[in-house]
Structure 1
Amino acid sequence: MECRPLSEFLCDENAPVLPVSDPTFLPWLQNDFNRGRLFINELLAQDHIVIDRRWNDYRVFDDKIPALCSSRMGVVYTKDHELKKITAYEALLLQGFPEKIAKKARDAGILRGSLMKYAANSVSVNVIEQIAIQIEKQAVNSYVPSEDLDICKGTSEKSLSTKKRFISVLSDFENNENAKKWLTIMGEDAENTDFIKTDPVRNESPICVYIKQKGKRIANISKIAFYSLSSKTRSAVLCKRKLSELIEEWDIPEDVRYLLDLYVNKKVKFKDMSEYERQTVASWFFENRFLVVSDTICGREETARDFLFFTHKSSDKTVWIFTGVGSLVGKKSFGDVSFSGDSLKVCGLTLSRSSSGQIKFTVSL
């Protein structure tokens, strides 16, 4: 399928300019994480370079666009030697809305924030469904046994040695077959790869990988998170979240919030709630299943990631599963919402409470 150039979508002549000196941009550009890493003048010299500002770091995309979401409004792009904010009209085009509908919505005077929310929600309508269809056809992210990759022995998802071993293998992309497979999953071509670099490895965070393709203007940046799969259940804990954070980020209504608070604080179990209360919780999660699944798998801010690397021991072999977050979201976003014991299954995720009073999200592979 031919990919249309980004210029066809980033075409709003009324796109607002974001000055580099803007108080929302300059301090971010000069923080400890970004200083000396992002050379803005070089990027401004090129058109349609997309900068996705996160909490304190960034991603740079060359003629590509990251997933839009209503809670992250920091995506800007370069055009005519300026930084421009993506407009709601452009966002609607990017998410597959017909130009006629996008223009009608723009000209109706609907607030930008509202349109951006609709545009972001549309990811769950067309993009994820198409991802799921393509997964069925191609099965790119396969479950592959690897005898020569002893990456799992004595490690956990937070182990530095696991990450360092992964980097060592990936850096040998010219010779190592596993590295070539990983690059293919990441949408890269090993034969045309110029170099691969990574930021210093930190214990709690995903690793940041820079892959420069020959003839490309900039390196592609990907973040990879690591997890150990349970040998019995082939499941991994993706994250543990405070209920207060989820209430704010997901805009959970008061009635559902109240019931979740009772559950998390061990005042009542799901199975001890009334049928009406259980239905109240299940209905909200079903209506917002795409948000819950995508947000949990993709992560936020410092935990945001593009790819997930799972490992576990199977007999005498180390088995790895390497997948893009979009592919996993596509696989895990379809299904029902139901209670199982004292946990809640939301499509392909399981929600339960942790001993520390947080909500734990688990995925099975």
Structure 2
Amino acid sequence: MKTLICRDEFSLDDGIGLPPPLPPRKNNVVIAVMGPTGVGKSSFIKALTGAEDIVIGHGLTSATSKVQCYNLAHEGTNFLLVDTPGFDDSSGLDNDVVQEILSWLKSSMGEGLLLNGLIYLHRIIDPRITGTARSNMRLFRELCGSDNLHKVVLATTFWAAVDDELGQRREAQLLEDPKFWKPMAEKGSRAFRLRQDRTAYLQILSHIARKNDKFLVQAQQEMRRGQEAHETSAGRAMNLGLERLKQEYEAKVVDERRKQQAVLDEADRRRRTERRKEQRRLEQQRRREMERLEREAREKDEARRESEARQDLLQKMQREAEEREMRQRLETAAQVLRQRQEEAARLRQLSSYVCQNFDTKRVRCSNCNTRLDLVEGGKWCYREHIPPAAPFRTELISSRLLPLR
């Protein structure tokens, strides 16, 4: 026996021996399977029908972009399972998905093919109910209508991926949330857990088939009254959703611009701060440079004044030395002049003395002991000596000098 695993969620026993698909008829039990992308709609239908042409996606992009129908015969009942694109398909706007579903509902209504029930799938592995999930649920309610909620099955998938206790808590949160499943459960919607059991899947189909009640969803009723698809409650909800998304996007854009502006303002503030710091640094550097130049100028000026003072002092000392030297020279010259004058006077005085009796050859000055020689005629040869006015002391005193008469 071979087992086919689909998204690790659904299984198909090939040994069951499914009958060949039947052509769609008006008395078929028509069930639409809806839900967000990746919830397991195509896997659910493939597990029931065994259709090999069903492509099961494994990413964020829905593998189903168009409404597709698959036949299933079970216990004498012909089922027509309608596979729909995911509401939050990442390949396009939800508006395209809603338009595709509304277009199929309108064309099927024209062919007399009415729904017997709807199955809405939700992942039990999702840790919380997101805003997108609430928007999808609100759109589904507008599409179905409050009068038809008792014909809706709310099914949770991926139970094999969570602990049973955790899954039960999350299921209870879904059923107790007033903005999610609670209003639908109060209007008669039935909750099921989709595990890896094809028999359980068939029980869901049997639950819908037992009611044997065909109906027009609210969107079909509105289109039958002449409203266009975009004018229906689902279309308006989609437009409101788009408008809300637009407003949220614009708000995000405004917020992003505000953040960018704040970043730019902060960057500009930082630039201004850095510029002011740089200006202060340059000003301080310029001031320090000016102070250094002024200090150097003062030092140079002081050095110049000191040099000039030294030069003046040297010149003064030189002048004083020259003056002293000049005075000394003058004094020396005056002294020499006086000595010469005195010598001339003494010579004139000595010229009046003569030697008597015998010659005295040598005499000495009684004052400085300089030897003096007499020459003929009684004249003196002083040999650069200027004798004093005192008498001479002779070595050989044999006579005395007598003044001339």
TM-score by length of 2: 0.20
Greater strand share, structure number: 1
Larger Cα Rg: Structure 1 or Structure 2? Answer: 2
For CA contacts below 8 A with separation 6 or more, give which structure has more relative contact order. Answer: 1
Higher helix share: 2
